[in-house]
Structure 1
Amino acid sequence: MPELKLTYFDFHGGRGEAPRLALSLGGVPFEDRRIPVSSWADLREEMPFHAVPILEIDGEVISQSNTICRYVGKLTGLYPKDPLPAARCDEVMDAVEDISTQVVSTFGTQDDAEKRAVRERLCEGPIRLYLERIQEMLVIRGGEYFAEDRLTVADLKVFVWVRTIRSGRLDYVPEDLADNYAPRLVAHNDRIKAHPGIVSYYAGH
């Protein structure tokens, strides 16, 4: 087993959380390097694309969150070996990445009124669309999981995203947005949250 070091911010959620969960669920040892947000300005230049997460594999740095998800998914058995189920996972993870990028782009908005207007437009447009379409993918694929009728890194990626939307931590994003537009995703979120490995992970962090 390679020596792994995952670097991401010191909070629950975001692009580094799904790989943390996958490695923990798979019982794969890794160094969990958590960066205080206050230190980011000093560390940003060290990162290949001035972004995290990064995964060091025997000292080699790999970037891009979905690439990391696929790699750790293969290590832990949480990524399909067959091409079509793998593509289904990739489709879902890329969709989450697309909408996450739109939300993250609002973080630097200083004017509160402007932030409110932008996020309200996101809620009524792109976020609602992605919630509904990702829910449709879940339903078409059986309603429980996104690929192979089992837990994969795609489920973990969606779990982290929906959990964040429902958390109340995003200003001007209603906590019940997902409940209103994607109840099947909410049920999926609650089911993943109740997984013994997920419960154990959050109990320890």
Structure 2
Amino acid sequence: MDIKIIYFDLPFWRAEISRLPLFIANIDFEDFRPSDEEWDYAKENGKMKDGTKIPFSELPVLSINGESIAQTMAIARICGKLGGMYPEDIIEAGKVDQIVVAVENINALLSPSMKESDPLKKKAMRKELTSNELPTYFGYLQDILDANHSGWFVGDTMTIADLAVWSLLGWIASGVIDGISAEVVRPFDGLVRLYNEINKNPRVRAWKIKTYDHDKVRDDEYSFGVPDSI
């Protein structure tokens, strides 16, 4: 099977929930991270220079046996199924999907403040996010996690739902979003345990060492710029 995941050179959750299931399961794939020039070409022409189509002119894109699939959730389902991290049962599959969509919703909450150029307005938006919106969503996630009693969001093993939350929490706690820190996550013990458990996974550790900034990946201290324990 010829598999290629196309996304920017970032450890962002939209790509990690598809890259990691393949890597963890030792499934060969091309981890293609286009340069600015390559991406400009793709946006203008609707395809990469090698002919790989880019539906909607957005990334990520999965190319599988020459067919292009776009949209985060669609790609994650395929890679999750290939890697054994997406359930066959339709109810459990729906439970996985609802967590990934919740992560997309949290991403959408953060997006307006990312685009705000006025520093005072941005600061006020981030304060509202930290005080109200993010804790509310984290509370919803914690309730679902606690109700499953296994330490995972769905079933008894790690799924793409867990990877989505793990990667999102790492991004939020990394310090790259001014005004939002790991402190917003710390009150949610279940989410913190999930984050730390995934960090300890040997294949996740190997992926970080292989693909993230090596100066920021140490055995006891960092996960792409954030502490392993938050």
TM-score (structure 2 length as normaliser): 0.82
State the 1:51 CA deviation. 2.1
Q: Deviations over 1:5-52 (max 9, x none)?
A: 101110112311111111111111111011346865554443422321
1:76 alignment counterpart: 83
1-structure distance, mates of 2:205, 2:79: 20
Identity %: 31
1:189 alignment counterpart: 195
Alignment gaps of 5+ in structure 1: none
Specify the code of the residue in structure 1 equivalent to 2:12: G
- Alignment equivalent of 2:121, drawn from 114, 118, 138: 114
CA contact (8 A) 1:53 1:64 kept: yes
Q: How does 1:6-21 map to 2 (within 5 A)?
A: 6-21=5-20
Which stretch shifts more, 117-126 or 12-21? 117-126
State the 1:75 CA deviation. 0.7
Q: Which has the higher contact order (CA 8 A, sep 6+)?
A: 1
Work out whether 1:26 is the aligned partner of 2:25.
Answer: yes
1-structure distance, mates of 2:151, 2:8: 30
1:135 alignment counterpart: 142
Specify the code of the residue in structure 1 equivalent to 2:84: G
Give the SS at the match of 1:72: helix
1:103 alignment counterpart: 110
Change (3 A) 1:117 1:23: same
CA contact (8 A) 1:73 1:152 kept: yes
- CA-atom RMSD in angstroms: 1.8
Change (3 A) 1:80 1:170: same
State the 1:202 CA deviation. 0.9
2:173 alignment counterpart: 166
State the 1:114 CA deviation. 1.8
Alignment gaps of 5+ in structure 2: 47-53, 212-230
CA contact (8 A) 2:13 2:164 kept: no
Change (3 A) 1:126 1:191: same
Change (3 A) 1:109 1:14: farther
CA contact (8 A) 1:167 1:175 kept: yes
1-structure distance, mates of 2:123, 2:94: 36
1-structure distance, mates of 2:38, 2:13: 17
Change (3 A) 1:164 1:94: same
1-structure distance, mates of 2:195, 2:202: 14
Specify the code of the residue in structure 2 equivalent to 1:164: W
CA contact (8 A) 1:18 1:157 kept: yes
2-structure distance, mates of 1:6, 1:104: 24
Give the SS at the match of 1:62: strand
State the 1:175 CA deviation. 2.3
Equivalenced residues, count: 203
2:56 alignment counterpart: 49
2:209 alignment counterpart: 203
Change (3 A) 1:173 1:39: farther
